[in-house]
Amino acid sequence: MINVNATLIVQIISFLVLVYILNRILLKPIMNIIEKRSSKIANDKEQLANLKEETESLIEKCISIEKDARKKALDQNSSLKREADKEADDLFNIAKNEIKGIREEADREIESKIEEANQSLKEFASQLSEDLTIKVIGRRFAG
């Protein structure tokens, strides 16, 4: 049987004092630390989610910028190619005209040389025929 006496009351009071002291010294600080950690973890998770969203947004923005840059580069490339083709055609036409001018000048020069050669040959032929006539006939042909 259980005897209820002053020792039991003292033990209950000392147990309650011990629980109170442990609660104040040990349990409340640990609970505060756990609560702070839980709060920090929740805050960090929220920040992580925000950073993830921001990162995805930045990635999409980078992809968009890259697409725009590629399109712009292709447009510039085709524009520069058209300009280069036009410039090459212009240079080709200029060179063609210069060649045509040089050829015409060379043709005129050749014609003048041919004319000079023909004149020289006529004179030479005339002199040769005169010399041959003198040698064959023995006198100069009056004609």
The confidence score (pLDDT) of residue 132 equals 81
Question: Which is more confidently placed, 143 or 95?
Answer: 95
Say what the pTM is: 0.46
For residues 110-114, average pLDDT: 92
Cβ contact 141:133 at 8 Å: yes
Residue 11 tokens, joined: 């033990």
31-35, 48-52, 90-94, 119-123, range with the lowest pLDDT: 119-123
User: What's the chain's average pLDDT?
Assistant: 90
Whether the per-residue pLDDT at 102 is higher than 80: the answer is: yes
| DSSP code per residue over 86-97 | HHHHHHHHHHHH
